[in-house]
Amino acid sequence: MNDQNSRSAEREPKFRVRAQHAESTVTVYQAYRPEIGRAAVLGGRFPSSWSRDRMTWVKPSFLWMMYRCGWATKERQETVLAVEISREGFVWALRHACLSHWVPALHGDRDAWKQQLRAAPARVQWDPERDLRLNPLPYRSLQLGLGGEATARYADEWIVGIEDVTPLAREMHARVRAGELERAAELLPKERPYPLDEDVLAHLAA
């Protein structure tokens, strides 16, 4: 990390949602095996072979997605999707989410937190954001898990569009491996702080 990026990282708050977003949508990322990914792009929706019975995790951070899927090289994660969803759906998920780990100051009794976690249709965890070399940064990136009602809403109501960004991932990876970090950075999706009312994250940021 150069000096400028280091200073920028120091100024970044530990918990903040950053995403590529437009007036009515926000972009999140997922990685799937090619059969699922291609069908989702062609149909604009996830195919019937996509499981609704398991929790699905979406990530607003492109670089965290690259860390998770190894630049689209890991098995069953070879196709990276940029899924554009409605802002209303994204905020609904956050408002109905439970933090994935117990924080006494937020939850009080551990058993009460466990009950909240079981009942919540969504959950949140914060993991270190990543730089272009996929090294951890001192601030956190949101991971949003969707299950039950949230999974159905995501699949059937919130999705506005699905794009295959695997070629982008591969081109960026090639530039990083060549040591061309500035050229790789030019390709990064423009992720900005996502505007949220304070109460939306009050039960999730700790």
172-194 pLDDT per residue, tens: 999 999 999 999 999 999 999 99
Q: What confidence tier does 4 reach under pLDDT thresholds 50, 70, 90?
A: very low
Spatial neighbors of 200 by CB under 8 A, at least 6 apart, are 91, 94, 95
Angle between helices 62-69 and 166-177 (to 10 degrees): 80
Rounded distance between C-alpha atoms, residue 114 and residue 116, angstroms: 5
- Whether 123 shows a pLDDT value over 50: the answer reads yes
Backbone angles phi, psi at 135, to 5 degrees: -80, 150
* Structure confidence by residue, pLDDT tens digits, 125-156: 999 999 999 999 999 999 999 999 999 999 99
E strand intervals along 79-168: 79-86, 97-99, 122-130, 136-146, 159-164
| Other Cβ atoms within 10 Å of 103 Cβ, number | 13
Q: What confidence tier does 9 reach under pLDDT thresholds 50, 70, 90?
A: low
